[in-house]
Amino acid sequence: MKKQIMILVLIISSVFLLVGCSSKNIYTYILDDSYKEYLVMGTSADYPPYESPKKVNGKMELVGIDIELAKEIAKAAGKNLKIVNKDFDFLLDDLVNNKVDFVISGMNPSPERELIVDFSDVYYEATHSVIINNKSKDKFNSVEDLNNNKIKVGAQLGSIQQEIVEADMNQSNTVFLKNVTDLIMQLKDDKLDAVILETPVASSFIKNNKDLSLLNFTVGTGEDGTAVAVSEGNVELLNLINYVINNLIDTGKMEQIINDAILGDEIVEKSFPFSFIFNIDYVKILLQGLLMTIVLALLSVTLGSLIGLFVALGRIVDNKFINTISKGYVEIIRGTPLLVQVLLIYSLFKLPVILVLGIDLSSFIPGVIALLINSSAYVSEIIRGGINSIDTGQKEAALSLGFNDKQVMRKIILPQAVKNIIPSLGNEFVTMIKETSIFMYLGVAELMYAASIVKVQTYQIKEVYIVTALLYLVLTLSTSKLMTMYERKLGLKDEK
């Protein structure tokens, strides 16, 4: 057993080293070697030309309007810059909990957001455009043509564009998704008739999708703008940011940054489907994500099994209080969605942004805790079932020979129970492999997070999802095969 534990530790350690710094969600920019401190910015890098990942001088970096603005703010503060890339929904929560100093992510200062954070002056006046398929060019000539119950209109969930759709196109069938690239995929597959995006973002997507077009009119009031969010009451930083924004606007540098980002948003060369699998950089990103998925699954099932063992023993001991607590734990965990558990635990752990071996521990630790708690509840029931499967006569015989209850459990029942539950533990590991995909929302660089980076850069959205599904399938099938071999080694299956 000790040998097996040592092998497991070595495997996990090796995978951590292989994942390395290039599989991170934190990007560091040394603006001046003399600066000793960092400003930390939160963003969601799937929104070109505001922010998106790109390989620069052989290194993966974030580029765009917001990145250049953040650099100017950091230089004015006399600090270097760290950028944390996470799902858009987590950005303001991170800001409120002081995990980041400010947020720039093409964010509009809506009244709801202004209740919890403060916003800077607007640095870019936004307009909103409509993307359609080329074959529908003559179908829509005004907003009224979109406001029809036969038309399906999409927008990003929680965005100003969603508010525009709800206000001006409330008669249409609406679809609101978290990810802009998924909206574009549905538009290209004719599942949507139109998608509403900010004009520069829309222009970036049609530049790389020749079968899409912009309608010749904008939607919304035209009074929206993007601004920088800071934590409530942080007057010093807010004043500095406003100074930088106004100075950039007055000197014309802000306009230059915007134009350079829009014009410099390079066109991805049109290539054959699945061409990204022949690009070593994209393959490396996906494989690193796959390795992180393995680490997360191993940690959750291994540590979850230890907790699950104690919970299972708590279910069968002759103590009503412990029995009730253990049963309640299992019922609560199994009765609530994993996503809710992840969000709750993440919000409770107010860890600062810490980068170790390329992994952001402020996201990694809460995520692993949530996953192992979830796994422990299911594993406890597996263990309890294994214990109950042992004939009670063995316990009675052992007690008659002078064994006490603890010795019976440790030396007779548990060894047999563990052997019986190996197949079920294998199934739980396979389940955890798939459940790790939820970590992409936290910015942990597992397989789905890696896939999101590749799809933003290649615009081969459907193809990336297919390859990702195949990687999950290879991993789960390999795991199932290894578990079958182990079962046969233990004599749990008859050789055919």
Per the structure, how many domains does the chain have?
3
**Residue 257, exposed/middle/buried by CB under 10 A (0-12, 13-18, 19+)?**
buried
Q: What is the pLDDT of residue 236?
A: 96
Give the CATH number of the domain where residue 95 resides. Answer: 3.40.190.10
Q: Quick one: 331 and 241 in the same domain?
A: no
Q: Quick one: 262 and 282 in the same domain?
A: no
How far apart are the C-alpha atoms of 469 and 463, rounded to whole Å?
A: 10
Do 360 and 354 contact (CB within 8 A), yes or no? yes
| Chain centre distance of CA 262 | 26
Q: Using CA of residue 458, residue 463, residue 468, residue 474, what is the dihedral sign? A: negative
Domain that holds residue 108: 31-124+226-266
Decide the pairing of beta strands 152-156 and 128-133.
unpaired
Place of tokens 């829509």: 140
Q: Quick one: 76 and 181 in the same domain?
A: no
CB atoms within 10 A of CB 172: 21
Do 188 and 208 contact (CB within 8 A), yes or no? no
Q: What is the pLDDT of residue 266?
A: 56
The helix, strand and coil proportions of the chain, stated in percent and rounded to the nearest 5, come to 60, 15, 25
Assess if residue 21 is contained within a domain: no
Give the three-state DSSP class for 41.
Answer: strand
Report if pTM > 0.85. no
Q: Residue 23: which H helix or E strand, with range?
A: none
Assess if residue 133 is contained within a domain: yes
Give the CATH number of the domain where residue 469 resides. Answer: 1.10.3720.10
DSSP state of 114: G
Decide the pairing of beta strands 229-231 and 102-103.
antiparallel
Q: Quick one: 481 and 403 in the same domain?
A: yes
Q: What is the pLDDT of residue 222?
A: 65
Q: Quick one: 334 and 435 in the same domain?
A: yes
Q: What is the pLDDT of residues 412-424, one digit of tens each?
A: 877 777 778 888 8
Would you give per-residue pLDDT tens digits along the chain (496 residues)?
455 555 555 555 555 544 444 446 889 999 999 998 999 999 998 888 899 888 787 788 899 999 999 999 999 999 999 999 988 888 998 999 899 999 999 898 888 899 999 999 999 987 899 999 988 888 888 889 999 888 999 998 888 899 899 999 989 999 998 888 889 889 988 899 999 999 888 888 888 788 899 998 889 876 678 999 999 999 999 999 999 999 999 999 999 998 888 776 555 555 678 888 888 888 988 988 898 898 888 888 888 888 998 998 888 888 889 999 999 999 999 999 998 998 889 888 877 777 776 677 888 888 889 999 999 999 999 988 888 877 777 767 777 777 777 777 777 877 777 778 888 888 888 888 998 888 888 888 889 988 988 888 887 888 999 999 999 999 999 888 888 887 777 665 544 4
Assess if residue 446 is contained within a domain: yes
Q: Quick one: 333 and 434 in the same domain?
A: yes
Amino acid at 50: Y
Q: Quick one: 230 and 288 in the same domain?
A: no
Q: Quick one: 284 and 136 in the same domain?
A: no
Joined together, the tokens standing for residue 470 give 């195949």
How far apart are the C-alpha atoms of 198 and 126, rounded to whole Å?
A: 7
Kindly report the average pLDDT of the chain as a whole number: 85
How far apart are the C-alpha atoms of 452 and 456, rounded to whole Å?
A: 6
Place of tokens 């947020």: 103
Give the three-state DSSP class for 218.
Answer: strand
Assess if residue 13 is contained within a domain: no
Which DSSP string corresponds to 463-478? HHHHHHHHHHHHHHHH
Q: Quick one: 40 and 134 in the same domain?
A: no
Distances (CA, A) of 348 to 342, 461, 472: 10, 34, 30
Q: What is the pLDDT of residue 22?
A: 43
Assess if residue 454 is contained within a domain: yes
Q: Quick one: 118 and 133 in the same domain?
A: no
Do 464 and 439 contact (CB within 8 A), yes or no? no
Assess if residue 20 is contained within a domain: no
DSSP state of 51: B
Assess if residue 286 is contained within a domain: yes
How far apart are the C-alpha atoms of 23 and 114, rounded to whole Å?
A: 34
Q: Quick one: 202 and 311 in the same domain?
A: no
Closest CA to 378 of 442, 341, 427: 427
Q: Count Cα atoms within 13 angstroms, Cβ side, for 184.
A: 26
Q: Quick one: 289 and 391 in the same domain?
A: yes
Assess if residue 100 is contained within a domain: yes
How far apart are the C-alpha atoms of 62 and 203, rounded to whole Å?
A: 19
